[in-house]
Structure 1
Amino acid sequence: MMAKVRGDTNTLDLLGWQPPAIVERFDEEKVRSSSLRARISRAVAETLRDCNYGRDEIAEKMSAWLGEDVTEHMINAYASQAREDHTISFQRLLALVHVTGDTRVLQMGAELFGHTVINDKYLEWVEVGMKADRRDEARRQQEEIDRDYEASLRTARRRAER
């Protein structure tokens, strides 16, 4: 294997490659808070910060998707921990996810209940994993049945020899 030459932009650094994340999550430090309401507002703020659209454009796109008025002022209130009277509703949260394409806030909610949000393209692999788990469990059960059967057979033979 040839070494990478200084200034070479065509050779990939295989040790520097990281696989893509299957589950998108917020950095815990950025959404940590003392209450769920404040955690949600921090998550909304992170989603807005990481989006390529301005808040005014996000509000317009949310309005169009929902068919109801969403203003930049509302968006700002949803992202503010100080505005305890303005927590984003679920339908507006869905609109925010639709507009930004950022599912991390859905993942944050799913984790509260021991679930995970994944892209549909991974669903078949999850099902393969579930089937592998079921197969392994069936094998363990069959081995237990076989051991029990062999023990019963030995006992029956011993008694028959008496």
Structure 2
Amino acid sequence: MPKRRPVAANLDLFKDYQPAPVVERYVEGSVRAYDLAGRLSKAVAKTLEESGMGRAEVAKAMADLLQDDMSKNMLDNYASQAKEHVISALRLFALVAVTGDPRALNMLLAPAGMIVVPAKYEPLIEREIAKEELDRLQRKINAADAAWRAGK
């Protein structure tokens, strides 16, 4: 049977399809700086820039979440490499929670070999860990069976 040739009029629905990333990261080189504090400042600035919210609005939402003082000027300082202010862990948490953007956390965790993934993926991760354990146990069973047979 001859091979079917693709018809030019048919569209490839998946040709340009790109699935959404599971782990959100900044575009390579977009948060480059001399040191980690500088990279964090750039990450805060990028998150604020792409959040679709004004800095005053973000600061207000962070203040409400933390029940703490937070101002637009503080966010401006955290987003500036020229300032000596580095965002605290609690305020970084609030920034991530308010903007829904975990990329700054992923940037900080990358050197430690860790990532932030959405909670909805936890059961899948647990399943894969259980499958690895099951494979390990099956290899152990197979080795014991082989040893038993060899001993007869």
User: How does the TM-score come out when normalised to structure 2?
Assistant: 0.86
Alpha-carbon offset, residue 37 of structure 1: 0.8
The 5 A counterparts of 1:131-142 are 131-142=130-141
Aligned equivalents of 1:101, 1:69: Cα separation in 2: 21
Aligned equivalents of 2:104, 2:26: Cα separation in 1: 8
Alpha-carbon offset, residue 101 of structure 1: 0.8
Alpha-carbon offset, residue 110 of structure 1: 2.8
Task: Render the CA deviation track for 1:116-160: whole Å, top value 9, x for unaligned.
Answer: 21111111111111111111111111222222222333xxxxxxx
The 5 A counterparts of 1:25-64 are 25-64=25-64
Q: Report which of the two has the higher share of helix.
A: 1
Aligned equivalents of 1:109, 1:151: Cα separation in 2: 52
Aligned equivalents of 2:149, 2:76: Cα separation in 1: 70
Instruction: Flag structure 2 segments of 5+ consecutive residues without an equivalent.
Output: 1-6
- The equivalent of 2:4 in structure 1 is none
Identity of aligned residues (%): 37
Alpha-carbon offset, residue 78 of structure 1: 0.5
The 5 A counterparts of 1:12-161 are 13-83=13-83, 85-153=84-152
Report the residue type matching 1:101 in the other structure.
Answer: G
The 5 A counterparts of 1:3-18 are 3-4=10-11, 13-18=13-18
Alpha-carbon offset, residue 32 of structure 1: 2.3
Aligned equivalents of 1:76, 1:33: Cα separation in 2: 17
Alpha-carbon offset, residue 64 of structure 1: 1.6
Alpha-carbon offset, residue 72 of structure 1: 1.2
Aligned equivalents of 1:73, 1:147: Cα separation in 2: 70
User: How does the TM-score come out when normalised to structure 1?
Assistant: 0.81
Aligned equivalents of 2:138, 2:26: Cα separation in 1: 39
Aligned equivalents of 2:87, 2:128: Cα separation in 1: 36
Instruction: Flag structure 1 segments of 5+ consecutive residues without an equivalent.
Output: 5-11, 154-162
Number of residue-to-residue matches in the alignment:
145
Aligned equivalents of 2:69, 2:39: Cα separation in 1: 25
Alpha-carbon offset, residue 70 of structure 1: 1.2
Report the residue type matching 1:134 in the other structure.
Answer: E
Please provide the CA RMSD for this pair: 1.8
Other structure's SS at 1:15 match: coil
Alpha-carbon offset, residue 56 of structure 1: 1.5
